[in-house]
Amino acid sequence: MDRILNVENLQVSFHTYAGEVRAVRGVSFELGRGETLAFVGESGCGKTATAKAIMRLWKPPFVEIKSDSVVEYNGEDVMKMDKKRLQSLRGNDISMIFQDPMTSLNPTMTVGKQIMEGLQLHRGLNKAQAREEAINMLRMVKIPVPEKNVDSYPHQLSGGMRQRVMIAMALACQPSILIADEPTTALDVTIQAQVLDLLQELKTQLNTAIILVTHDLGVIANFADRVQVMYAGQVVERGTTKEIFNEAKHPYTWALLNSVPALATENKQELYALKGTPPDLILPLNHCPFAARCEYCMGICREQMPEETTLSGTHKVSCWLEHPNAPKVESFYDRRKK
Amino acid sequence: MGEYLVEAKNLCKYFQVDRKRTLKAVDHVDIAIRRGETLGLVGESGCGKTTCGRTLLHLYDATSGEIYFDGKEISRLRGKELLEFKHQAQIVFQDPYSSLDPRMTISEIIAEGMDVHLKLSPKEKNERINELLLAVGLTDQFANRFAHELSGGQRQRVGIARALAVDPSFIVCDEPISALDVSIQAQIVNLLIRLQRERGLTYLFISHDLSMVKHISDRVGVMYLGSMVELASSEAIFSAPKHPYTQALISAIPVADFDGEESRKKERLEGEVPSPIDPPPGCRFAPRCRYATDICHKEMPKLEEVERGHLVACHHCLNNHS
């Protein structure tokens, strides 16, 4: 794997009046060129916090990225970059699409201007060239009549079109990594399908690596190469999409897979619902974060943090059930077969 | 007692945009909901699902058409009878963050409707509030809290308790789960199903989450740009959709199953939903439909029964394309 991003022991804390919220607690992962990695988990599990930390979008002093965190882009230490290098990193090397296309575009600028901004800044194009390129980008993301729509304001476009503009803007400087933070959550299914098809197409065309932040397992099954499941600021399981869907080992992953009704399930059957809420991230956590909600919880789960067990070259899980002395349990798959 | 609790015929709800233009949010829709069933209503944003739900509850005045509730035409109801209708028909709103008054305690929110409809003594009222909180899976400790102290799922439970407070027989659930996390969604859907079993409620379940709609509904109606294009049992809609729009909509659902994903055939809709302001004559879906012929652009197809209990509004449905 040609590695483009390496993250080790990433820790992000929010300093609030109530205390230090440790939102990301030691996340490590690698990303290969042209690969799609999905982050999945409930709200507040640290998906977005991790994604934004990669670009150092968090501002001190209220948000702190701990000093022993390592983020390396192409072998270069992002944590040590100066302001100037950071600015060229953002947009040029790594760019981001945000969740809500309604609020993340500037309402007072035409979409053309917003795309041109990055092009002029990062690629040193003059105004006319940038405009030409902006029109090309809009054509690439399949905006109808790009020559005309380049002068539209965001409010004149629909939600799906705005998200396309966001994608055009993010890809304008041909970054090698695209971070897509819930790119389709605010969209209808048919538009979602269009946007995902578009991303897939552009990915093969430009060989961009994508970090996809989402809570929609359906989108992941369609789109991602690898998945990491996050809970309470930690990665609890990681693997290829196939491994996560067909051979998941962590009870939390089972719960996630289980709470979506499959189109084949019996109607009005009781859906599996995870009880309780994720732990308060202000409090220290020195045992398995999922223990309180886990139906397989054992004594040791409440005492010690499980180590990450390697099941295959790509598949790793942090759960005491994988310990050689742990009892065999009936998994989600065994139950589903019944 | 008729078979249907709620029945609407030729229901229209237009909004006047300005002097010349009209937005036809709901255009000649027929809808009938049986007692004790859940009718799902799906479609993309702006297709008129919510307007339809609210018009059925008389929250909007229908532009034309008739709505019968328990056999009575609701636009003619006045005074006591109207109050009785409002007592029977309630709504759960989409966004639990903005639909609860931040200055009222949970018990005040739940009690508000009871004060109007059921004249209870303070003691009875308190008992009832506690009973409702338990029924929706909260405890009486929540009674004196404010909405901001609660999580999204807890708030939605309060929203449901508020709707249940006056013992309605019909509840419109307007996207009750779309603002919630997946694991919380399952909890709320389980709660709605349980309450329906216990209390014999009738639901109109509006959502754009098709797999959830399939799970909870007995029958499903699909709306496109203000008109109902297909209405059938939830099994039929998902396994054998007949309208080209429904087919495209179903194939767009991303399924959380790795193996099934590759084998499913994918149909993609081009473009987006056109504006509902002064739509062209003929079938609303014609401009995006790949089976469209001349007649589709001229004449609006009627919702007709093509199989037992399976209604479709399409000119080409019988000489089928599938």
Give per-residue pLDDT as tens, A268-321: 777 777 877 788 888 888 899 999 999 899 999 999 999 999 998 899 999 999
| Residues above pLDDT 90, as percent of chain A | 51
CB contact, 8 Å: B55 with chain A? no
When pLDDT is averaged across residues B223-229 and rounded to a whole number, the result is 92
Has residue B228 got a pLDDT over 60?
A: yes
* Residues in chain B closer than 8 A to A225 (CB atoms): none
pLDDT at A30: 94
Has residue A206 got a pLDDT over 80?
A: yes
DSSP A89: I
- Per mean pLDDT, which of B1-5, B273-277, B299-303 is the most reliable? B299-303
pLDDT tens string B95-123: 888 889 999 999 999 999 888 888 889 99
pLDDT at B173: 94
Closest listed residue to residue A228, CA positions, set A31, A55, A65: A31
CA distance A212 to chain B (A): 15
- How confident is the prediction for chain A on average, in pLDDT? 89
Has residue A328 got a pLDDT over 90?
A: no
* Burial of A117: CB neighbours in 10 Å, binned 0-12, 13-18, 19+: middle
pLDDT tens string A80-111: 999 999 999 998 899 999 877 778 899 999 99
| Residues above pLDDT 90, as percent of chain B | 44
Longest dimension (CA), chain B: 67
Domain at B4-312, CATH homologous superfamily = P-loop containing nucleotide triphosphate hydrolases (3.40.50.300)
Minimal Cβ distance to A274: which of B183, B189, B261: B183
In whole angstroms, give the CA distance from residue A299 to residue A304.
9
Q: What pLDDT band is residue A161 in, cutting at 50, 70 and 90? A: confident
When pLDDT is averaged across residues B20-31 and rounded to a whole number, the result is 89
In whole angstroms, give the CA distance from residue B252 to residue B173.
24
Minimal Cβ distance to B215: which of A159, A241, A271: A271
pLDDT at B322: 44
In whole angstroms, give the CA distance from residue B300 to residue B279.
11
Q: How many other C-beta atoms lie within 10 A of the C-beta of residue A114?
A: 19
Q: What is the CA radius of gyration of chain A?
A: 21
Of B226 and A332, which is predicted with more confidence? B226
pLDDT at B263: 52
> Are B211 and A192 an interchain contact pair (Cβ–Cβ within 8 Å)?
no
CA atoms within 13 A on the CB side of B169: 12
pLDDT at B1: 60
CA distance B79 to chain A (A): 38
Task: Give the torsion sign (CA, B305, B311, B316, B318).
Answer: negative
* Burial of A44: CB neighbours in 10 Å, binned 0-12, 13-18, 19+: middle
Closest listed residue to residue B264, CA positions, set B235, B246, B230, B239: B239
Has residue A267 got a pLDDT over 70?
A: no
When pLDDT is averaged across residues A223-236 and rounded to a whole number, the result is 94
Q: What pLDDT band is residue A150 in, cutting at 50, 70 and 90? A: very high
pLDDT tens string B59-87: 999 999 999 998 889 888 888 889 899 88
Under the phi-then-psi rule, with left for phi > 0, alpha for psi from -120 to 50, and beta for the rest, what region is B317? alpha
β-pairing verdict for A3-16 and A70-73: antiparallel
DSSP B117: H
Has residue B186 got a pLDDT over 60?
A: yes
Q: What is the ipTM of this complex?
A: 0.77
pTM (two decimals): 0.84
CB B306 within 8 A of CB B242: yes
In whole angstroms, give the CA distance from residue A320 to residue A303.
11
Has residue B53 got a pLDDT over 60?
A: yes
CA atoms within 13 A on the CB side of A267: 18
Closest listed residue to residue A249, CA positions, set A166, A314, A199: A314
> Are B186 and A272 an interchain contact pair (Cβ–Cβ within 8 Å)?
yes
Q: How many other C-beta atoms lie within 10 A of the C-beta of residue B144?
A: 11
Q: Which amino acid is at A244?
A: I
In whole angstroms, give the CA distance from residue B107 to residue B125.
10
In whole angstroms, give the CA distance from residue B161 to residue B105.
13
Helix H, strand E, coil C: the string for B88-101 is HEEEECCCCCCCCC
Phi first, then psi: give them for residue B180, nearest 5 degrees. -110, 160
What tokens appear for B39 in the block?
Answer: 């009718």
Q: What pLDDT band is residue B7 in, cutting at 50, 70 and 90? A: very high
Domain spans of chain A? Answer: 3-224, 231-337
* Residues in chain B closer than 8 A to A259 (CB atoms): 182-183, 185-186
CB A47 within 8 A of CB A220: no
When pLDDT is averaged across residues A28-33 and rounded to a whole number, the result is 94
Has residue B277 got a pLDDT over 70?
A: yes
When pLDDT is averaged across residues B151-171 and rounded to a whole number, the result is 91
* Residues in chain A closer than 8 A to B268 (CB atoms): 190, 193-194, 197
In whole angstroms, give the CA distance from residue B26 to residue A152.
30
CB contact, 8 Å: A270 with chain B? yes
CB contact, 8 Å: B249 with chain A? yes
pLDDT at B13: 93
Domain spans of chain B? Answer: 4-312
Q: What pLDDT band is residue B159 in, cutting at 50, 70 and 90? A: very high
Q: What pLDDT band is residue B320 in, cutting at 50, 70 and 90? A: low
CB contact, 8 Å: B263 with chain A? no
* Burial of B243: CB neighbours in 10 Å, binned 0-12, 13-18, 19+: buried
Task: Give the distance, in angstroms, between the CA of residue A115 and the centroid of all CA atoms in the same chain.
Answer: 23
> Are B268 and A194 an interchain contact pair (Cβ–Cβ within 8 Å)?
yes
- How confident is the prediction for chain B on average, in pLDDT? 87
- From the options 3.40.50.920, 3.40.50.300, 3.10.129.10, 3.40.1550.20, give the CATH code of A3-224: 3.40.50.300
CB contacts < 8 A (A, B): 120
Closest listed residue to residue B201, CA positions, set B143, B135, B108, B106: B135
